[in-house]
Amino acid sequence: MTEIRLHNTLSRRKEVFEPIDATNVRLYLCGPTVYDRAHLGNARPVVVIDVLYRLLRLKYGVGAVTYVRNFTDVDDKINATALARKEAGAPGTLEELIRARTEETIGWYHADMDALGALRPDLEPRATDFIGAMIAMIEELIAKGHAYAKDGHVLFRVRSYTRYGALSGRSVDDMIAGARVEVAPFKEDPMDFVLWKPSDADLPGWESPWGRGRPGWHIECSAMSYELLGASFDIHAGGIDLQFPHHENEIAQSCCAHPEGGFARYWLHNEMLQVEGKKMSKSLGNFFTVRDLLGQGIPGEVIRFVFLQTHYGKPMDWTAEKAAQAEATLRKWRAAVAGVAASAPAQAVIEALSDDLNTAGAIAALHAIKDPAELKASAALLGLLEDGMGAWAAAPGADLSAHAAALADLRARAMASKDFAPVDAMKAALIAAGVEVRMSKAGVELLAGPGFDAAKLPALG
């Protein structure tokens, strides 16, 4: 098969990908902190790395790739949400409430990423299951002079690692100038970062040689990747926002604790996501979780298609227009491949993906394929047109305007007659058909939800 080339952030150039061991290609993606629903930007690296995972499995074999993505389940934000629930009178201890919150969020995360057609990683370690490994790594760093304990904290001595900053291509002094580094009495140098910190009695904590406490965030990925993938592995991926300090700190910790290994050889970073040309933010009102979009009736496959139209190394702009176009293309393709068994993927699609995951080029190549069996096989490499994801396309496009007008009319009559039973009956029938009904003073809005079934819509009189 074509050789795979990847843009390595570490060398800042495209390199031929050569695994350390072709019978066990190892891939690590920084996973979510599980305190809330994943937003659209959180889903981008998952979809990008899912395509890489599919490509590696095609080239090296399904059993020859190990993909690890962690869950960060120890974090101040998780503690804060659990504490807020406890203060609101929720039953159970704080530990139980934290556990319930992380379990619930992991369930949401799986449901949302499944809806986007992302294959589950081979291993999904939770940080709280690896505290012992983190403590062992911190002890190793102290023994080698790269870390020090002070006042219940343990800090990494950044200036003890001369290659610090290599991933970002900046010197430590430049980074200090540009970063918001915290000056604290327990630090030798403001640049030093936390490996371990003390926990109050009312927060989760673990016994350690430095007292009861909890790990810093960066050490989690270093310890879990070492335990599951070893001191050297092939690819480490994540959003560009993690390059500094998170990935820079991971490299420093891992290379200092295990200098015999080289940690990750290829670093892949995806660019950020915007919505309608603007940075996604709650204050701008353009902040979407994956679930928000699915709830608006946008199929996960459409979200995935829109993501893959932009190369992972470029900022991607989510727009309603792109979603509508993606939906039309997928409907057309799904009609073409209905009932067809996949053959082999087209060489042009494999070549595009092998060229640093050129997903936009791969989609362009899909447009040129005439044979439905080849289209289906090729699209599967991008996680598209798969059998489990297509129920939405079987339904006709959801034009609910006539039903919205009818419901608004019924409501206007009910205001006069004071008999709201017909309104409630129609509302119930719409909900049973998988429609989300939003009624406000401004009017009636109907949205096809994920379970939408046009055949169940109430008849209009």
282 is in an annotated binding site: yes
Total residues binding Zn ion (CB under 5 A): 2
Task: Please report how close the Cβ of residue 32 comes to Zn ion at its closest, in angstroms.
Answer: 11
> What's the burial of 163, exposed, middle or buried (CB within 10 Å: 0-12/13-18/19+)?
exposed
- Comparing CA positions, the residue from 70, 56, 58 lying closest to residue 25 is 56
CB-nearer residue toward Zn ion: 161 or 263: 263
374, two tokens: 């080849």
Q: Give the range of 61-69, 189-197, 218-226, 365-373 binding Zn ion by CB under 5 A.
A: 218-226
Report the residue from 135, 221, 308, 369 that binds Zn ion according to the rule CB under 5 A: 221
Q: Give the range of 45-53, 103-111, 214-222, 387-395 binding Zn ion by CB under 5 A.
A: 214-222
Residue 134 found at the interface with Zn ion (CB under 5 A) = no
Q: Give the range of 30-38, 118-126, 133-141, 342-350 binding Zn ion by CB under 5 A.
A: 30-38
Task: Please report how close the Cβ of residue 221 comes to Zn ion at its closest, in angstroms.
Answer: 3
246 is in an annotated binding site: yes
Task: Please report how close the Cβ of residue 242 comes to Zn ion at its closest, in angstroms.
Answer: 6
CB-nearer residue toward Zn ion: 239 or 345: 239
Task: Please report how close the Cβ of residue 30 comes to Zn ion at its closest, in angstroms.
Answer: 3
Report the residue from 30, 51, 78, 426 that binds Zn ion according to the rule CB under 5 A: 30
Task: Please report how close the Cβ of residue 118 comes to Zn ion at its closest, in angstroms.
Answer: 18
- Comparing CA positions, the residue from 448, 458, 398 lying closest to residue 428 is 458
CB-nearer residue toward Zn ion: 28 or 288: 28
Is residue 237 within 8 A of residue 28, CB to CB? The reply is yes
Task: Please report how close the Cβ of residue 321 comes to Zn ion at its closest, in angstroms.
Answer: 34
Q: Give the range of 215-223, 321-329, 350-358, 410-418 binding Zn ion by CB under 5 A.
A: 215-223
| Residues at the interface with Zn ion (CB under 5 A) | 30, 221
Per the annotation, binding residues for ATP are 282
Per the annotation, binding residues for Zn(2+) are 30, 221, 246, 250
Per the annotation, binding residues are 30, 221, 246, 250, 282
